[in-house]
Amino acid sequence: MSYNQPPPQPGPYGGGQTGPNPYGGGQPNPYGGAQQPTAEPNPYAQQPGYGYPQQQPQQGYGYPQQPTAPYGQPQAPFPGPAAPAGGRNKTKIIAISAAGLVVIGAIVTGAVVLSQGEDKPKAMKLVAPKSLDDGTYTLDKGTKDLENEGTSVQDSMPDGATSVLAQYTRSDDSNSGLAYSGVYGEFSDPDKVRDEMFKGFTGGDASPTVEKKRKTFRPEGENGPSIECEVVKMYDRIYAPACAWAEKTDAAMVLDINAESTTVDDADMEAFAEVTAGIYKDTRKPA
C-alpha cells in the first residue's frame, strides 16, 4: 500500500469514525432504505411555532383581516387556495370552501330585513348537524369554531337576527367541501332577502363570477321548499352551484365546492337543488 493513498472508508459495521453519508444527505438510514419523501401538508395541521416563516395567504372577497398573534406572528386560519402543481395534484378546496363561507356570510349580513308588527309565523332556528345529505358531508367547523378563529358575521347582524355558519367536508373526498351560511329571525320580505344573497356574488374584482343564471327548483313539489340556484366560478378554476332558500323565519345559502368541478357543465344546479332541499329539512328546527 502506498503511503500517499487515503485510508479506506469505514464499513457499515466499523468503529466510531465518521465518514461521508452514502445516502446523499441528512442522517444515514441505519436500515439501508431510501429516505421517505416529504408528505403533503395537512390543511388541518397546527400552525408552525414562533420564529417559523409563515406564508401569506391570498384573501378572497369578504375575507376578514388577519389578527396578529403574540410575538407578531400572523395567524392564517383559512389559507388561500394553492395554485395547481400539475398532474393529479388537486387544488386545496378546503381553503376555498372557507373563503366561500366568508363570502356567503357577508351576503347574509346584507340581506337581513326584519319584520315589524305583522303576524308572526312559528319561530324557527337554524342548526349545523354533524352530517348532511345522508352522510355525504361531515361537519368540520361550526359557528363557534369559526368564531374562535376570527370568522363571524354576528356582530353586524341587527337585533333579533342570529347567524349560523358551518364548513363541511365531503366524506369521500377531503379536498372537497360545502359552505353553509344562514340567518334566522323574522323577515318581512323573504324574496328580498334571497335576492340580496345572490347579489353578493357579483360585487368586487375578487368575488366569484356568475356562470349560470338563477333558476327556481321545487324538488319536492309545490308543498316543498322553493330553492333557487346559480353556478359561480371560484378562483378562476372551480365551478360551484350555490343554492338558497328564504322563508319568513329563516334564510340560508349553501355552496358546494367539488375538486372535480373544473368546467361549467360539471356543476349541476338541479342535482344540488335536491341536496339543498334535504339540507333545508336537516337544518331547520322549531325555536
CATH classification of the domain holding 185: 3.40.1000
Which candidate, 200, 227, 236, 230, places its Cα nearest to that of 212?
230
Residue 3 domain-assigned? Answer: no
Which structural domain, as residue segments, surrounds residue 246?
93-286
With cut-offs at 50, 70 and 90, classify the pLDDT of residue 69.
very low
Residue 129 domain-assigned? Answer: yes
Residue 2 domain-assigned? Answer: no
Three-state DSSP at 275 gives helix
CA distance 240 to 256: 6
CA distance 75 to 90: 24
Residue 23 domain-assigned? Answer: no
Residue 11 domain-assigned? Answer: no
Q: In this predicted model, what pLDDT tens digit does every residue of 196-248 receive, in sequence order? A: 888 877 665 556 889 999 999 999 999 999 999 999 998 788 999 999 999 99
Which candidate, 178, 189, 169, places its Cα nearest to that of 112?
189
- Total residues belonging to the chain: 287
Residue 18 domain-assigned? Answer: no
Residue 116 domain-assigned? Answer: yes
- Is the pLDDT score of 92 beyond 90? no
Which candidate, 106, 94, 102, places its Cα nearest to that of 137?
94
Residue 184, CA distances (Å) to 17, 65, 98, 115 in order? 73, 26, 21, 12
With cut-offs at 50, 70 and 90, classify the pLDDT of residue 118.
low
Residue 146 domain-assigned? Answer: yes
Instruction: For the chain, list the strands marked E by DSSP.
Output: 124-126, 131-132, 137-141, 162-170, 173-184, 209-217, 227-234, 238-246, 250-257, 284-286
Tally of domains within the chain = 1
Stated pTM of the model: 0.67
Residue with cell 361549467: 264
Three-state DSSP at 259 gives coil
SS3 content of the chain, % helix, strand, coil (to 5): 20, 25, 55
